[in-house]
Structure 1
Amino acid sequence: MSDQPTPGTALNPVARDTELSATTWELITDATPDSTRRAYRDDWKRFTSWCAQQDRAALPATAETIAEYAGHLALTRRAPSTIGRALAAITKAHETAGHGKPDRRGATEVLRGYRRRHAQAGRATRKAPALTITALRAMVATLDPDTLVGVRDRAVIVVGFAMGARRSEIAALDLTDVQPHDEGVQVTVRLSKTDKGGRGRLVALPYGSNVATCPVRALSEWRTTLAHHGRSDGPLFLRIDRHGRLGHVATGKGSPAGRITGETVAAIIRRAALRAGLDAAAAFTGHSLRRGFATAAYAAPDADLVRIARHGGWKEGSAALFGYIEEVDQWRKNPAAGIGL
């Protein structure tokens, strides 16, 4: 809705104080990544549907309503992380609508109690397995270098691993984000989950010692392939349909530019893991690249935790990053070792 009055009419000051222009709404929308926005939208639809069934108000929702909904999700055996995201979606909807943060104290207690029951029942939180260098090489070996899909998937997997990137960061890359350097390539990550201000980060990718898993060579081959198809700008990684068409998008589906999604990144990784016959291949996700990079980088000689965090875009003191390196340290620096047991 425009904030400009219709010619010949007086502007209603009350309406102007309570309305947002289309431009403002667009900026609010752009503040949230596409994948998060889609998840929040689906969570909000489920919440409003449940409220309608229970004859409760969804907006603004009372503390009791939100707590009851959290309890409903727990009773239907949703994962704790799913419940946490649903609460975040409810909060986001209230804030965007101008109602401020809703009272989630009761819902938070419900979630805390549910997490305890979840742990006591032996249902551990499902984690994406970390991709090792050995597994990475096995996956890349299954890809056909003479096909569009093979060249693209190799670049997605190898570059994503070398960057320690989130799947959304991989999907969001443009051709102009990749610049050659004497030592390799520099990749600009313009937006990420922990970079709310959009400051971006520069990731340096050096040449690899193994030709098959070298991120610089993988990127070069993919960019050469894109150039042969007349692609010199736009998304770095494009959809390839079952007919082998590059960047083709069915009407009304996906990015108009043909960009892959974070879900596509996860599918590429899982597909390669299954073909390679890896243990627990079906559990591999886009996060397996990021987790694998963190553990491999930390296990390397002269590992620098600060540099690892900056490279992968982890916040200082990130609990997630410390969790990954603990998998390395639990044996390499085990406090029970060497105490005379």
Structure 2
Amino acid sequence: MTTDTTTKTARARADELAAVLRISPPETGVGDDDLLAWIDWWSEPAEAARGLSEGAIEHLASGGWWPPATARHVKEVPPDIVRRTLRPNFPAVVSHSPLDTELFGTLNLPSVIADDTAIVRIAERANRLARKSKADNTIRSYRSAWKQFALWCDRFGFEPLCGDPAVIALHLADASERLAPASVRLRLAAIVAAHRLVGLQLDSKHQAIASVLGGAIREKGSAPTRQAKPVRARVLERLVAACPDTAVGIRDRAMLLVGFGAATRRSELVELRINDVRIEERGVLVSIRRSKTDQEGEGVVVAIHGAEDPNTDVRAALAAWMDHRGRSSHARRDVPLTDDERRGDAHLFCALSKTGRPLGRKLSDVAVVRMIKEAALRAGIDPDGYSGHSLRSGLATSASANGASLAEIMDQGRWRSVDMAKRYVRDEEVWKNGASMTMARRSSAGTKDGHD
């Protein structure tokens, strides 16, 4: 068979597959290798599609589930010639109605969903509720993950809100080349949340998805996530001592001691209100209204015991800051107190003017990171590795070193997961290796084991 005859036969086969699958055939003039690769890719889906009625095909296409995918399409990345013909020739698939969401930005609903007013109404309510159920950091992560998935779908011609585990698995397989397993799981969580937001079902434990996630973990391993460098008790003493006797120093000293003692996340620390803290004889009681593990806002009260050393006593530090904040607020000329200030609902740790006057404006969580690093520099400590989580991890690490049980640490830090809490004490626990410690002591004492 001549080359021309082979090309004509392949072209006829490609046109036949394209007609069955309702997709564009390869453009005229492509090479024989590309043409054969295109045919090889689409032959199996076309066979699966031959038994479907026109109505069934249109229904699948309108939901974004066309062309059909096989196990091969989940495991392999399509060749370039295939990527240019992935979009089906159905107007219903490329017809969308935008739904503005706070969680994911604008979601483009396929017309089959957008035409259902009941689903749209439910989706809008789900959007409002979902926004309230997620922390700001989670929302940012989900929105970024969804944006990347939507761009990937646009590149390869898939409908983002397709509900097809095979498509999701294909995306996760591609993303796993660049992302750590934890980031791949976050990507999946965002995709599932977006589907559920508009009333679409997506099984995150589907075999196609589970196999890709399992493979990504085995391929890259599950090394421990790098934790923030902890501000241990001795480091905390140096940071507090380095705080200047200025308005900023008074505030930062109180923030360091409250953040460490209550093991706060940085978002919890900046959300504290004046009424959330109470100075008592034994120490300070801190009410955490809402946290990452308490999205319903049930709240919890945490006790921070006072110290004998006045330089590290949370009672003295907090009293000094509240005295400055209160006197400055009342002393503002011609500026009436806000309702929040009268009720004590104003933010406890607020921004300051250049002259040290409290402005009442809430600090950002980034300000906590900056505060810790600046305190480290003043104390002559390398700030690299310290973050907004360093106070929280420092309390856990220091408590473990001083004999506190894991249950006590979990209670103070409000950890619900044992595995999560163990991450924060892992560095300290590593040094409690009895065998290694014994050998080091024997070596220091000059003791030998009696063998060569």
With normalisation by structure 2, the TM-score equals 0.61
CA distance in 2, matches of 1:74, 1:243: 51
Distance 1:118 1:270 in 2: 32
The whole-number CA distance in structure 1 between the counterparts of 2:166 and 2:306 is 56
Measure, in 2, the Cα distance between the counterparts of 1:243 and 1:94. 51
Compared with structure 1, are the counterparts of its residues 329 and 63 closer, same or farther at alpha carbon in structure 2 (3 Å cutoff)? same
State the shift of 1:101 in Å.
4.0
Q: In the aligned structure 2, how far is the partner of 1:204 from the partner of 1:240? A: 27
Q: Distance in 1 between the 2:216 and 2:124 partners? A: 41
- What residue is the counterpart of 1:134 in the other structure? 234
Which AA in structure 2 matches 1:132?
A: R
In 1, distance between residues paired with 2:163 and 2:285?
47
Residue of structure 1 equivalent to 2:112: none
Identity of aligned residues (%): 31
1:117-161 per-position Cα deviation (integer Å, ceiling 9, x unaligned): 4449xx8642212221121122223322213x2222222222111
1:174 aligns with 2:273: yes
For 2:388, the aligned partner's letter is: G
Distance 2:240 2:286 in 1: 21
Gaps of 5+ in 2: 1-98, 100-115, 330-340, 443-448
Q: Distance in 1 between matches of 2:357 and 2:315?
A: 25
Larger radius of gyration: 2
**Is 1:259 paired with 2:362?**
yes
For the pair 1:216 / 2:328, whether they are aligned, the reply is no
1:201 aligned residue (300, 315, 322): 300
**Equivalent residue, structure 1, for 2:350:** 238
CA positional deviation for 1:234 = 1.5
| Cα separation, 1, equivalents of 2:409 and 2:434 | 21
* Equivalent position SS for 1:213: coil
CA distance in 2, matches of 1:68, 1:260: 42
Number of the residue aligned with 2:264: 165
- Take 2:380 and 2:212, find their aligned partners in 1: how far apart are those partners? 40
The 5-angstrom pairing of residues 117-132 of structure 1 reads 117-119=219-221, 125-132=225-232
Please give the per-residue CA displacement for 1:52-75, whole angstroms capped at 9, x wherever unaligned: 222221113422332233233333
Q: Which runs of 5+ in 1 are unaligned?
A: 2-13, 248-256
The answer on whether the counterparts of 1:163 and 1:312 sit within 8 Å (CA) in structure 2 is yes
Paired with 1:326 and 1:126, the residues of 2 have a C-alpha distance of: 11
Aligned residues: CA RMSD: 3.1
Segment drifting more, 228-237 vs 164-173: 228-237
* CA deviations over 1:165-191 (Å, ceiling 9, x no partner): 222221221111112323222111111
User: Would the aligned equivalents of 1:273 and 1:282 in 2 still touch at CA under 8 Å?
Assistant: no
Q: Which residue identity is paired with 1:90?
A: I
Asked if residue 156 in structure 1 is aligned to residue 255 in structure 2, the reply is yes
Cα–Cα, structure 1 residues 80 and 183, in superposed 2: closer, same or farther, change >3 Å? same
Question: Which structure exhibits the higher relative contact order, with contacts defined as CA atoms closer than 8 Å and separated by 6 or more residues?
Answer: 1
Deviation track 1:185-207 (CA, whole Å, cap 9, x = no partner) reads 21111111222432211101121
- Give 3-state SS (helix, strand or coil) of 2:434's partner: coil
Question: What is the TM-score normalised by the length of structure 1?
Answer: 0.79
1:108 and 1:72 map into 2 onto residues whose CA distance is 14
1:41 to 115, 135, 143: 143
2:19 matched to which residue of 1?
Answer: none
How many aligned positions are there? Answer: 313
Residue 415 (structure 2) aligned to one of 294, 314, 338: 314
Question: What residue number does 2:88 align with?
Answer: none
